[in-house]
Amino acid sequence: MDVPLSYYLCLSAILFAVGAAGVLTRRNVIVVFMCIELMLNAVNLTLVAFSAYLGSIAGQVLVLFVMAVAAAEAAVGLAIVISVYRNRQSVDIDDINILKW
Amino acid sequence: MTGAELTGLAVLLPLAGFLLNGLLGAKLRSEALSGIAGSGAVAGSFCVACTCFVQLLGLPPGARTIDVPFFPWIAAGGLHADVAFQVDQLSVVMMLIVTGVGFLIHVYSIGYMHGDPGFARFFAYLNLFIVAMLILILADNFLLMFLGWEGVGLCSYLLIGFWYDRKFEKGTTADAAKKAFVVNRIGDFGFLVGMFLIFVTFGSLRFQTVFSQAAALQVGAPVATLITLALFLGATGKSAQIPLFVWLPDAMAGPTPVSALIHAATMVTAGVYMVARCSVLYALAPASMAVVAVVGAATALMAATIGLVQNDIKKVLAYSTISQLGYMFLALGVGAFSAGIFHVMTHAFFKALLFLGSGAVIHAMHDEQDIRRMGGLRSALPVTFWTFLAGTLAIAGIPPLAGFFSKDEILWNAFARGSWVLWLAGVAGAGLTALYMFRLVALVFTGEPRWEKGTHPHEAPPAMTVPLLVLALLSAIGGFAGLPESLGGSNAFERWLEPVFAPAAEKMALVGFPGAFTEYLLMAVSVAVALAGTFLAYAWYTKRTDVPGALVKKFSGIYRVLLNKYYVDEVYDGTVVRPAVKIADTLLWKGVDVAVIDGIVNGLARAAQGAGDALRRVQTGVARNYILVFLTGAFLLVGWLLVR
């Protein structure tokens, strides 16, 4: 039984909205991180869905790239978080505002 | 290789001397080497000049113009300027004068500059001067001539300020050098304008092209008048004529051999040479010719009167030089071009001699230049005295010395081709010349010594006296090169230059020369005036020494005017220099530069800073703000894409 494309897109949109809302509202950097991952994966889902719908392999290839970048981003991001925590004893995103003029 | 083909060598030899002394002189620290290299290079150039002369002698008079091309220099659009020399009668005469007298002065400098810390630098500059002067003389187009013209100006500047740490009058020698340079710039402006006009009119800067085209113009063509007047402005700067003569007296701040070489014998005659070179153009412009003649006569008379009352031995000679240059322009102005060049030659001999003689006196008196503190030097400096006397007799126009023939030629032409007014001014100047020169001789060499005790004047070394003797000989017999027909000669000098000035002569109205009787009469008058001047000076400054003092008291007003050189410097200072400085200070510096230019630059910087200041507030450092902005933007973009 085929699931229609619109189902995938709706699910993806919901996941993306949840992620975006989390990034904007949560203050814990770890949670913000997880929300970013959620948004990335929502996009991945869209790509795979379109790939299957259109019978093109390109979408799946792009997903692999996104996952590789996401892994790298998670590694660097968590390293920064640990470094910031060691310096400031905090992972609250509102405390981390040193990157300005 | 013929002589003309060697002219490149004539320029390269002094250039090599300049490079050797300029680059290695300070390391070598050998006066003998510097002096011999410097003098030897000029001697080589003189030999080349001699071979050129011999080569031209072997050709028929009409074919004595040899082009020596080297390489194209500038080719842009219609403008073509080549580095090429034109060897003809006129340039060979100038070449012989410059290298011959130049060589003697180089040798003299070995003695005069002995012990000076800048010995090698001095010879480097002198050699560079010879290079530039030869380029000026030999160039076959106006642009290359201008290169030499500027080159000699530069050397003049460098050598006036040679003793840059010494005081000179109210300032330093550097001030005098700067004055010479700035005044010459005004003249150069005229030269440039003339050159532009020539290019616009004739489409070329090459002498032969320009002059052959100019021959087609009508006499009195306005463009010819404009060109010649502009060029004459250049000549007044370089050759120290009214109104730009003020730099030459100050140029005496330089070492005396420099005064002899550059500010008497050679460089200052560049203007005369240039006008003579452009004789065709001048022949087309009778109005310009009149200006040249009047300016020349006025300068001759004015400078002679100033020379009467100066007390610095070199200042007297400087004003004398200006006066003699005036005679040369008087000759050019009445169309007697070869007489002008003849006077260039004889003047080079006797004025170089007089300056070198004054150098020997200054040397003997340990840098004393005030003639009021000299006197009675005849016995201590016999060679200097006799050679100086020969030079004085020559410049005063006592026959049969060189100055008599050239000056008489000029006065005769001024009378025959010009007017009796010009002649009268010339004769009056000649009388004054005799007066101030013999005043100088009397005050320096005769009478009681007026110097301080402890000074022991001594005769100069042979390196200095031998050039004096050679120049004295030339001053004595040099005039016979131009022995006029009326005195049984054939005026060989004029015959030699005739082909060069033939195109100009064709353009000028033929004048009926008065008969031989008039010529003899005028000759007698000028000799009588010169003798009268001599006698007056002898009487006033050796026998009745109270007369000059009484005259000064009686005519104190005139005396003060003359002593202050007609206040020309003060007038220029008040009307030109100080307003210019004022304008530069208030309008150009504080107005244009600080307010406008700096204002624009600083304003732009301040605007950028302000904009950055405002925009940096956007960067809060709160990551969620960025995300919000980013997302809002993304939604807006998507929304726009959807509703579009």
Closest in B616, B621, B624 to A24, CB measured:
B624
| Same-domain check for residues B381 and B471 | yes
pLDDT digits (tens, 9 = 90+) for B35-89: 999 999 999 999 999 999 999 998 888 888 899 999 999 988 888 899 999 999 9
| Same-domain check for residues B543 and B580 | no
| Same-domain check for residues B505 and B581 | no
Whether the predicted pLDDT of B598 surpasses 60 = yes
Contact B620 A100 (CB under 8 A): yes
Domain assignment present for residue B155? The answer is no
Closest in B619, B624, B627 to A101, CB measured:
B619
Q: What is the pLDDT of residue B486?
A: 80
d(CA B528, CA B431): 9
pLDDT digits (tens, 9 = 90+) for B94-110: 999 999 999 999 999 99
Give the mean model confidence (pLDDT) for residues B417-444: 92
Q: What is the pLDDT of residue B626?
A: 84
| Same-domain check for residues B529 and B609 | no
Q: Which residues of A touch B631 (CB under 8 A)?
A: 20, 24
To test the contact with chain B by mutation, choose from A9, A18, A23, A36 the residue with the greatest count of B C-beta atoms within 10 A, namely A23
Closest in A23, A32, A94 to B622, CB measured:
A94
Structure-token pair, residue B55: 């080569």
pLDDT digits (tens, 9 = 90+) for B265-286: 899 999 999 999 999 999 999 9
Looking at CA atoms only, how far is residue A101 from chain B in angstroms? 6
| Domains in chain B, number | 2
CB-defined contacts A:B, below 8 A: 29
| Same-domain check for residues B516 and B635 | no
Contact A23 B621 (CB under 8 A): no
Closest in B619, B622, B627 to A23, CB measured:
B627
Domain ranges of chain A: 5-88
Q: What topology is assigned to A5-88 in CATH? A: Helix Hairpins (1.10.287)
| Same-domain check for residues B603 and B478 | no
d(CA B281, CA B29): 50
Domain assignment present for residue B573? The answer is yes
| Same-domain check for residues B394 and B508 | yes
Q: Which residues of B touch A100 (CB under 8 A)?
A: 616, 619-621
Looking at CA atoms only, how far is residue B640 from chain A in angstroms? 18
* Domain region containing B347: 203-239+274-552
Contact A101 B628 (CB under 8 A): no
Secondary structure class of B90 (helix, strand, coil): helix
Q: What is the pLDDT of residue A101?
A: 58
Closest in A20, A97, A98 to B631, CB measured:
A20
Domain assignment present for residue B564? The answer is no
Q: Which residues of B touch A101 (CB under 8 A)?
A: 616-617, 619
* B483 conformational bin, left if phi > 0, alpha if psi -120 to 50, beta if neither: beta
Domain assignment present for residue B443? The answer is yes
pLDDT digits (tens, 9 = 90+) for B474-533: 999 988 888 888 887 788 888 899 899 988 888 887 677 777 888 888 899 999 999 999
| Same-domain check for residues B542 and B591 | no
Structure-token pair, residue A63: 């997903």
Query: Final residue of a domain: which of B502, B527, B552?
Result: B552
Contact A100 B619 (CB under 8 A): yes
Mean confidence (pLDDT) of chain A? 89
Cα–Cα separations (whole angstroms), residue A19 to A22, A43, B106, B450? 5, 11, 95, 111
Evaluate whether B465 touches B383 at the Cβ level (below 8 Å): yes
Q: Which residues of B touch A (CB under 8 A)?
A: 616-617, 619-624, 627-628, 631
Contact B627 A101 (CB under 8 A): no
DSSP one-letter string for B562-576: HHTGGGHHHHHIIII
| Same-domain check for residues B584 and B440 | no
Cα–Cα separations (whole angstroms), residue A11 to A14, A21, A44? 5, 15, 12
**Closest listed residue to residue B409, CA positions, set B487, B477, B473:** B487
Kind and range of the H or E run holding A51:
helix A29-54
User: Residues near B15 by Cβ (< 8 Å), separated by ≥ 6?
Assistant: B127, B128, B131
Contact A93 B624 (CB under 8 A): yes
Residue A1: which pLDDT band, with cuts at 50, 70 and 90?
A: low
Q: What is the pLDDT of residue B484?
A: 84
Looking at CA atoms only, how far is residue B603 from chain A in angstroms? 23
Higher pLDDT, B322 or B511: B322
- Whether this model's ipTM surpasses 0.90 comes out as no
Looking at CA atoms only, how far is residue A61 from chain B in angstroms? 24
d(CA B627, CA B333): 90
Cα–Cα separations (whole angstroms), residue B349 to B215, B265, B484? 35, 7, 19
| Same-domain check for residues B591 and B544 | no
Whether the predicted pLDDT of A52 surpasses 80 = yes
Cα–Cα separations (whole angstroms), residue B596 to B84, B581, B607? 46, 19, 16
Looking at CA atoms only, how far is residue B604 from chain A in angstroms? 22
Query: Final residue of a domain: which of B552, B578, B596?
Result: B552
Residue B454: which pLDDT band, with cuts at 50, 70 and 90?
A: confident
Give the mean model confidence (pLDDT) for residues B15-38: 90
d(CA B514, CA B8): 45
Domain assignment present for residue B181? The answer is no
Query: Final residue of a domain: which of B525, B552, B579?
Result: B552
Contact A24 B622 (CB under 8 A): no
d(CA B406, CA B400): 11
Domain assignment present for residue B152? The answer is no
Evaluate whether B177 touches B165 at the Cβ level (below 8 Å): no
To test the contact with chain A by mutation, choose from B615, B618, B622 the residue with the greatest count of A C-beta atoms within 10 A, namely B622
| Same-domain check for residues B628 and B530 | no
Task: Give phi and psi for A85, each to the nearest 5.
Answer: -60, -40
Work out the burial of residue B325: count CB atoms within 10 Å of its CB; fewer than 13 is exposed, 13-18 middle, 19 or more buried: buried
- Pick the residue from chain A with its C-alpha nearest to B617: A101
Domain assignment present for residue B265? The answer is no
Mean confidence (pLDDT) of chain B? 91
Q: What is the pLDDT of residue B216?
A: 85
| Same-domain check for residues B455 and B353 | yes
Domain assignment present for residue B587? The answer is yes
Whether the predicted pLDDT of B1 surpasses 70 = no
d(CA B178, CA B561): 25
Residue A71: which pLDDT band, with cuts at 50, 70 and 90?
A: very high
Closest in B621, B627, B631 to A99, CB measured:
B621
Looking at CA atoms only, how far is residue A98 from chain B in angstroms? 6
Looking at CA atoms only, how far is residue A2 from chain B in angstroms? 28
pLDDT digits (tens, 9 = 90+) for B187-215: 999 999 999 999 999 999 999 999 999 98
pLDDT digits (tens, 9 = 90+) for B354-408: 999 999 999 888 888 899 888 888 888 999 999 999 999 999 999 889 999 999 9
**Closest listed residue to residue B129, CA positions, set B24, B32, B22, B52:** B22
Looking at CA atoms only, how far is residue B615 from chain A in angstroms? 10
